[in-house]
Copies of this chain bind each other. A is one copy, B any other.
Amino acid sequence: MSMESVYQYVDDHVEDAVQLLERLVQQPSVSAQNWGIQEMAELCVEILNEEGIDAQLLELGDAPPLVVGKAAGVSPRRLMMYNHYDVQPTDPIELWESDPFTPTRRDGNLYGRGASDNKGDLAVRICALRALRAANGELPVGVTFMLEGEEESGSPHLPALMAEYGHHFAADAGLLEAGGTNREGQPVLTLGVKGLLYLELHCRTTNSDSHSATAAVIPSPAWRLNWALSSLKAPDETVLIEGFYDGVRDWWEDEIEALRAMPADDQKQLKEKGLKAYLDNVSGLEYRKRLYGRPTCNICGIETGYTGPGLKTVLPAEAKAKLDFRLVPDQRPEDILDKLRRHLDAGGFTDIEIHPIAAHEAPVRVSLQDPFVKFCAQTAEEFYGKKALLTPNTAGTMGTSAMTDVLPYSMIFAPGGAGYWGSSVHAPNEHIRIADLADAIKYHTFLLTRFAGTTF
């Protein structure tokens, strides 16, 4: 089937795509703050139904609704496309140059929270279906949308939602959040995600704040927490929790080859971050092995005492830290949680409470030899005219294990996302380049068209 008329439609309707994305961005949907989630889910159903994609909310207790949207195709082949309609919080809000929920066009970009992650991808995929139908009157394959409402909060309800509603998502393969092309224009496929264990450490020593003059005799939760944290990771970045690295498997040979084939874009990112060097001054292959393959223990935030302007001489009653552990095959989050508790107890930190937040996410990695991986690589190379980069793992996390535990097909990140490497995802001034939209939509039309001919 010729793509020419489809691509022409896409080129003629970029403005429609921008307006669809603006409509998605201007509805706040911060899952961490339960802000606009229900409204956003309903807006997604409304938009999908407007597009002739049969959509509904799948609800379960107080979980943010899962949205399912189905469209039939000529071929019995069916592709699942996962996106999430929630976004990260916006703080530090003062660093945004325009309101995060007022989509703003500036210098050829569209700014707004979620413009890239992940409302941009959703807009692209809807527009791909629209273009195929406009040009051909039908879709080449069946498509099932899965839109989750709390990916940015660690997908705490996704395992339960999958257990209840997994049967809605039968398909032959799945596309996760869309990736894109790298700075050299090569299409990027990512085959794995790290796991995530997110938790808070709490320490309370007294029932109210004390005058800091009593610091000679009253135990400080801020110091206790500080010492406990220092016991978790050494200044050389080694995680000190006993057995933390037990489950980590080495990179396979084909994975190392894939890592080696990736371009060295780490030096450009250094400059963007205002950094002199990465940890241990890594670069090139070592940088990638570390970024994509090393488990982490990160402090997302610490809250204790007085942090306003000037001086307050206080000994806080309580101290809290938010930590995230990014895990790699074959670590298991529940195992790391157990080991953390044992580590704190063994170090005398029985006064430090652990409060897990969100569901545990296990690491997932699809083999480089998987037929869907090979299909996606081939279509991407054909479309973009450059060799595909197969990234064995992303540095980030998704609730993929909740899906792969229930759904029997392979899911990977393929290109065609709205964003690019400079989109400031999870940061102030998130944006996409409007000029990128047409190619992203076209790639999805091409992939769906070719998917009709697959047999795996």
Query: Judging by beta carbons under 8 Å apart, are B310 and A31 in contact?
Result: yes
Chain B residue numbers with a CB within 8 Å of A428 are 208-209
Copies of this chain per assembly: 2
Q: Which of A277-295 contact B (CB under 8 A)?
A: 278-279, 282, 287, 290-291, 294-295
Chain B residue numbers with a CB within 8 Å of A91 are 306, 308
Q: How many residues of A contact B (CB 8 A)?
A: 89
Nearest Cβ in chain B — how far from A424, in angstroms? 8
Query: Judging by beta carbons under 8 Å apart, are B218 and A299 in contact?
Result: no
Known: A301-B306, A309-B33. A314 touches B216 (CB 8 A): no
Measured between alpha carbons, how far is A31 from B313 in the docked complex, in Å?
13
Measured between alpha carbons, how far is A313 from B319 in the docked complex, in Å?
19
Query: Judging by beta carbons under 8 Å apart, are B303 and A307 in contact?
Result: yes
Contact with B along A171-198 (1 / 0, CB 8 A): 0000000000000000000000010101
**A170 at interface by CB-CB < 8 Å:** no
**A152 at interface by CB-CB < 8 Å:** yes
Which interface residue of A206, A223, A313 has the most chain B CB atoms within 10 A?
A: A313
**A219 at interface by CB-CB < 8 Å:** yes
Measured between alpha carbons, how far is A298 from B314 in the docked complex, in Å?
8
Measured between alpha carbons, how far is A209 from B216 in the docked complex, in Å?
36
Contact with B along A419-441 (1 / 0, CB 8 A): 00000111110000000000000
Known: A273-B208, A313-B324, A427-B211. A217 touches B291 (CB 8 A): yes
**A350 at interface by CB-CB < 8 Å:** no
Chain B residue numbers with a CB within 8 Å of A198 are 311, 313
**A300 at interface by CB-CB < 8 Å:** yes
The segment from A16-24, A157-165, A390-398 found at the interface with B is A390-398
Query: Judging by beta carbons under 8 Å apart, are B305 and A301 in contact?
Result: yes
> Which residue of chain B is the closest to A211 with respect to CB atoms?
B426
Partner of A322, one of B226, B290, B306: B306
The segment from A97-105, A141-149, A228-236 found at the interface with B is A228-236
Chain B residue numbers with a CB within 8 Å of A298 are 212, 215, 220, 313, 315
Partner of A301, one of B196, B274, B304: B304
Known: A209-B427, A313-B426. A299 touches B305 (CB 8 A): yes
Query: Judging by beta carbons under 8 Å apart, are A214 and B291 in contact?
Result: yes
Nearest Cβ in chain B — how far from A309, in angstroms? 6
**A207 at interface by CB-CB < 8 Å:** yes
Query: Judging by beta carbons under 8 Å apart, are B274 and A314 in contact?
Result: no
Query: Judging by beta carbons under 8 Å apart, are A273 and B218 in contact?
Result: yes
Chain B residue numbers with a CB within 8 Å of A394 are 213
Query: Judging by beta carbons under 8 Å apart, are B307 and A153 in contact?
Result: no
**A358 at interface by CB-CB < 8 Å:** yes
Which interface residue of A31, A233, A302, A424 has the most chain B CB atoms within 10 A?
A: A302
Measured between alpha carbons, how far is A115 from B88 in the docked complex, in Å?
43
Partner of A300, one of B214, B217, B313: B313
Partner of A357, one of B299, B304, B305, B310: B310
**A227 at interface by CB-CB < 8 Å:** yes
Query: Judging by beta carbons under 8 Å apart, are B313 and A222 in contact?
Result: no
> Which residue of chain B is the closest to A305 with respect to CB atoms?
B301
**A140 at interface by CB-CB < 8 Å:** no
**A114 at interface by CB-CB < 8 Å:** no
**A154 at interface by CB-CB < 8 Å:** yes
Q: Which of A230-284 contact B (CB under 8 A)?
A: 230, 233, 235, 266, 273-275, 278-279, 282
Interface CB pairs A-B, < 8 A, 8? A32-B312, A207-B274, A209-B426, A217-B290, A301-B304, A307-B322, A312-B322, A313-B324
Q: Show the binding face of A for B, using Cβ within 8 Å.
A: 31-34, 88-89, 91-92, 95, 152-154, 194, 196, 198, 205-220, 222-223, 226-227, 229-230, 233, 235, 266, 273-275, 278-279, 282, 287, 290-291, 294-316, 319-320, 322, 324, 326, 348, 357-358, 394-397, 424-428
A215-B297, A218-B273 provided; 11 other pairs, C-beta below 8 A?
Answer: A33-B309, A89-B306, A91-B308, A153-B311, A208-B273, A208-B428, A212-B324, A215-B298, A217-B290, A301-B312, A311-B358
